[in-house]
Amino acid sequence: MSDENVFDLAVIGAGPGGYVAAIRAAQLDMKVVIIEQMESPGGTCLNVGCIPSKAMLDSSGRYHELEHILPEHGIQAKALTLDLEKMTARKQAVVKKLTGGVDSLIKGNKITKIEGRGVLGAPDENNVHTVQIFDHDNSQWERSSGGLNQYSTEKDSGEEKRKAREQIKASRVLLAAGSVPVELPFMPFDGKQILSSTGALSLTDVPKSMAIIGAGAIGLEMASVWASLGSKVTVIEMMDQILPGWDSQLARTLMRDLKKLGVEFILKNSVTKAKHLKTGVKLTLENDPGELKAEKVLVAVGRRPALDTAGIRDAGIELDSDSRRIAVDENYQTSVSGVYAIGDLIHGPMLAHKAEEDGVTAVERMAGIPAHFDYGVIPGVVYTHPEGATVGANEEELKKEGREYAKGVFPIPANGRALAMGSESGFVKILADAKTDRVLGAQILSPWASDLISEIVSIMEMKGSSEDIARIVHAHPTLPEAVKEAALAVKKRSIHSLR
């Protein structure tokens, strides 16, 4: 084998974790190859997840605003029309521009990129790993409306029948294969009536009705999109609140706001059966109301690590205690020497920004840099209207721990900029240790909550206090002033609220 096919690091998967890790490795003078089975880099996030969903959220939000909110601003649209085809084309243009940018970064950092399915092989006598590259076989890919998702998880994938197109060798291999949507066994994705998030982002017509199973971030974001465009959306959740595990005040307030958008909710219920009809699907529910009919059904009950790709199961890599994710040590190394794993494949929240930090930290540790980051300060965001954001602990968790805390809450409608924008709901909540004042967590429901949370994340990363936030000068009038006021409220000295 020529030296051209021998690398310091082979990265399998070019999603947010994989391509960021590859770039950082190249910056550290490693010879890097990245192997991706999608036509464009960026993985699920850039191609069929985070980015296209935000493009659709922005477009649908503007449509709803023009129809229902801007008249209060004195702006009238007498002949409002929706061109979903053009809206979808804009979404794809955003995706193409971003994935093209990632492609340029890969080339600019002199990283070798191979399109195909990378499968981990056994190391040789010098502990150098082999990665085989297989051509795409579209018959073996899971399809949902709008494009290819992930390689088939069926055992009869045909690898034993097809020869590898080529193989490369690398001293280290980083597994960054990501995750795939969870299917319900009695209603598999068909890309027509039973949809994954990929399918829900690729509809060519606004459905008259849509049932969404699962009230997590993906389900609620898609509810926000299609309800804004005129679909009758019903969200079904087996738990007693939307966003299970999140702050209950945030969940209740967001549900109220989404109801104003027209979204209906069925909580403490689950779907037990699905029957295809000519014009949709009839769902049988475990509890009252018993059944529900909808033109389209989005299954958004979560994602699972893509353990059935890249030869992970056949390589003897140990899984964690519940056999759901790959077990890794503090350096992200698996049970197989020289093989590492990051992102959705390992413990921690399944978030793109977490995968990116995993990738950077893993590669820097390979290079002998004592890098680390705190899983306890990873922000979570739901990009609905308004947005919800959280970091650290919530009140329910602190009460369960028996930890004494002080709370500061500031209502978003009391913020001058928010009022000028027409925001009538939401809040900023900051939780601090009762004795030390160290910030333990925060929750925000507000326009641009995804941006507002970053200030609190920074303070928490520095082990800072609510007093630190309260003493920072914030420009006026801005939404971040609500963060300052919530910090002031921790010690009962908010200026612009009587709470």
**Per-residue pLDDT tens over the stretch 221-249:** 999 999 999 999 999 999 999 999 999 99
Looking at residue 137, its pLDDT comes to: 54
Mean pLDDT of the chain: 92
Return the minimum-mean-pLDDT range out of 42-46, 49-53, 143-147: 143-147
Beta partners for residue 32, in sequence order: 9
Classify strands 427-433 and 439-446 as parallel, antiparallel or unpaired: antiparallel
- The whole-number average pLDDT for the span 331-347 is 96
In the set 385, 474, 476, 496, the catalytic residue is 476
Does residue 156 have a pLDDT over 60? no
What architecture is the 3-49+89-180+303-376 domain classified under in CATH? 3-Layer(bba) Sandwich (3.50)
CA separation for the pair 113, 447 (Å, rounded): 39
Listed residue (235, 264, 241, 217) closest to 390, CA to CA: 217
Q: Annotated binding residue at 302?
A: yes
Would the CATH topology of 194-299 be identical to that of 386-490?
Answer: no
- The whole-number average pLDDT for the span 349-356 is 97
| Of 157-171, 256-270, 314-328, highest mean pLDDT | 256-270
Active site (annotated) includes residue 385: no
Give the confidence band of 138 by pLDDT, cuts at 50, 70, 90: very low
Q: 297, 273 in Cβ contact below 8 A? A: no
Looking at residue 499, its pLDDT comes to: 64
In terms of Cβ atoms closer than 10 Å to its own Cβ (0-12, 13-18, 19+), residue 404 is exposed
CA separation for the pair 87, 58 (Å, rounded): 10
Helix ranges restricted to H, 291-412: 352-366, 395-401
Q: CA separation (Å) from 170 to 120, 309, 338, 363?
A: 11, 19, 9, 14
Q: CATH number of 194-299: 3.90.1200.10, 3.50.50.60, 3.40.50.2300, 3.30.70.1150? A: 3.50.50.60
Q: Annotated binding residue at 216?
A: yes
CA separation for the pair 134, 306 (Å, rounded): 17
Does residue 464 have a pLDDT over 50? yes
CA separation for the pair 352, 13 (Å, rounded): 13
Give the confidence band of 311 by pLDDT, cuts at 50, 70, 90: confident
CA separation for the pair 355, 325 (Å, rounded): 14
Does residue 267 have a pLDDT over 60? yes
Tokens standing for residue 207: 């459905």
Question: Which position has the higher pLDDT, 499 or 441?
Answer: 441
Measured from the Cβ of residue 130, the count of other Cβ atoms closer than 10 Å reads 18
| Of 126-140, 144-158, 461-475, highest mean pLDDT | 461-475
Looking at residue 449, its pLDDT comes to: 98
Which residues, 6+ apart, have CB-to-CB distance to 370 below 8 Å? none
Q: Annotated binding residue at 215?
A: yes
Does residue 149 have a pLDDT over 70? no
CA separation for the pair 330, 320 (Å, rounded): 14
Q: Annotated binding residue at 118?
A: yes
Return the amino acid letter for 176. A
CA separation for the pair 205, 277 (Å, rounded): 18
Give the confidence band of 2 by pLDDT, cuts at 50, 70, 90: low
**Domain boundaries 386-490, corresponding CATH code:** 3.30.390.30
pLDDT tens-place string over residues 70-108:
888 999 888 889 999 999 999 999 999 999 999 999 999
Return the minimum-mean-pLDDT range out of 67-81, 101-115, 197-211, 320-334: 67-81
Question: Which position has the higher pLDDT, 153 or 173?
Answer: 173
Listed residue (136, 175, 132, 130) closest to 152, CA to CA: 136
> Tokens 């959740």 correspond to what residue?
237
User: Which helix (H) or strand (E) covers residue 174, if one does?
Assistant: strand 166-175
Give the confidence band of 125 by pLDDT, cuts at 50, 70, 90: confident
Q: Characterize 188-216 residue by residue with b for buried, 16 or more Cβ atoms within 10 angstroms of its Cβ, and e for exposed.
A: ebebebbbbbbbbbbbeebbebbbbbbbb
Listed residue (387, 381, 379, 499) closest to 447, CA to CA: 387
Tokens standing for residue 445: 């429901």
Give the confidence band of 157 by pLDDT, cuts at 50, 70, 90: very low
Half-sphere exposure of 234 (CA within 13 A, CB side): 20
Listed residue (353, 415, 350) closest to 386, CA to CA: 415
Does residue 379 have a pLDDT over 60? yes
Tabulate helix, strand, coil % of the chain (nearest 5): 35, 25, 40
Looking at residue 162, its pLDDT comes to: 63
Classify strands 296-299 and 194-195 as parallel, antiparallel or unpaired: parallel
- The whole-number average pLDDT for the span 456-471 is 98
Q: Annotated binding residue at 214?
A: yes
- The whole-number average pLDDT for the span 133-161 is 45
CA separation for the pair 382, 387 (Å, rounded): 6
Q: Annotated binding residue at 442?
A: no
- Is the C-alpha dihedral spanning 50, 255, 447, 75 positive or negative? positive
CA separation for the pair 412, 428 (Å, rounded): 7
Tokens standing for residue 418: 């928010």
- The whole-number average pLDDT for the span 186-202 is 95
Calculate Rg over the CA atoms of the chain.
Answer: 24
Return the amino acid letter for 92. Q
Listed residue (435, 416, 434, 430) closest to 478, CA to CA: 416
CA separation for the pair 365, 346 (Å, rounded): 17
- The whole-number average pLDDT for the span 31-54 is 94
CA separation for the pair 197, 36 (Å, rounded): 21
pTM: 0.92
- In the three-class reduction of DSSP (H, G, I as helix; E, B as strand; rest coil), residue 256 is classed as helix
Looking at residue 127, its pLDDT comes to: 81
For the chain, the structural domain boundaries read: 3-49+89-180+303-376, 194-299, 386-490
User: Which helix (H) or strand (E) covers residue 248, if one does?
Assistant: helix 248-260
CA separation for the pair 393, 397 (Å, rounded): 6
Looking at residue 251, its pLDDT comes to: 98
Q: Annotated binding residue at 220?
A: yes
CA separation for the pair 482, 478 (Å, rounded): 8
CA separation for the pair 51, 34 (Å, rounded): 21
Which DSSP letter does residue 68 get? I
Instruction: Give a three-class secondary structure readout of 218-244.
Output: HHHHHHHHHHHCCCEEEEECCCCCCCC
- The whole-number average pLDDT for the span 317-330 is 92
Does residue 59 have a pLDDT over 50? yes
Q: Annotated binding residue at 344?
A: yes
C-alpha 6 chain-centroid distance:
34
Does residue 150 have a pLDDT over 80? no
Q: 148, 140 in Cβ contact below 8 A? A: no
Q: Annotated binding residue at 329?
A: no
